[in-house]
Chains A and B, each alone.
Chain A
Amino acid sequence: AQKVTQAQTEISVVEKEDVTLDCVYETRDTTYYLFWYKQPPSGELVFLIRRNSFDEQNEISGRYSWNFQKSTSSFNFTITASQVVDSAVYFCAPFKGGKLIFGQGTELSVKP
């Protein structure tokens, strides 16, 4: 059975700190896709990134970076120099059986 775990329920940082959000996806599948979504206070989910299980290269987009390690089933998301606007709930979501399976999310609070 597949299981996605976001162990950090809430994280609070001060602006300009770096912060890493953890995601572990336990599966026996050898090929899969993983997504990260951001849900700001307005509620709408915003697609951030999709990664393939066969591509373990880190990806960087501005202040965002993602580290995927298949050996540990982890797909971690790092925000560098966090800003107040980064405050949101972040979801990790593997794609399985034609649908996204959402983790419970990590609520990030960035204080000024």
Chain B
Amino acid sequence: SQTIHQWPATLVQPVGSPLSLECTVEGTSNPNLYWYRQAAGRGLQLLFYSVGIGQISSEVPQNLSASRPQDRQFILSSKKLLLSDSGFYLCALKPQSKTYEQYFGPGTRLTVT
């Protein structure tokens, strides 16, 4: 079965600093990959998704970006963090063998100070 790794688990960064969150997956090939953010108040917001290497779709305008340099690696970045970027970031995958189910990683809790 597939496994999703996210690091770091927690991160505290000052406003204006850069960001790089990494997600790697095991046990599956050519999955769809997703980045979600969960702000206080619980709702999950889809930020980016990728159907393949180098293919990124952005769901909402923001100062974040995503990249997929390898089939099993998905990176979320920012050049300058804002206070509003604080939240819980979840990486998810949809295996090629599944039509709709998404499976989530353990998440990264980001606090921007």
Interface residues of A (CB under 8 A from B): 33, 35, 37, 42-47, 50, 89, 91, 95, 98-100, 102-105, 107
Q: Which listed residue, B41, B101, B109, touches A50 by the CB 8 Å rule?
A: B101
Q: Which listed residue, A45, A89, A103, A104, touches B90 by the CB 8 Å rule?
A: A45
- Among B23-31, B43-51, B63-71, B78-86, which stretch is in contact with chain A? B43-51
The 4 closest A-B pairs by CB, nearest first: A45-B104, A102-B44, A105-B42, A43-B107
Q: Which chain B positions have C-beta within 8 A of A102?
A: 43-44
Q: Which chain B positions have C-beta within 8 A of A98?
A: 49
Bound form: Cα–Cα A47–B103 in Å: 7
Q: Which chain B positions have C-beta within 8 A of A50?
A: 100-101
A44 engages B104 (CB within 8 Å): yes
Q: Which chain A positions have C-beta within 8 A of B55?
A: none
Within B57-113, the residues touching A (CB, 8 Å) are 59, 88, 90, 92, 100-107, 109
Q: Which chain B positions have C-beta within 8 A of A45?
A: 44, 90, 92, 104
Bound form: Cα–Cα A100–B93 in Å: 12
A44 engages B106 (CB within 8 Å): yes
Whether A99 touches B104, Cβ cut-off 8 Å, given contacts A43-B88, A45-B90, is no
B46 engages A99 (CB within 8 Å): yes
Q: Which chain B positions have C-beta within 8 A of A89?
A: 42
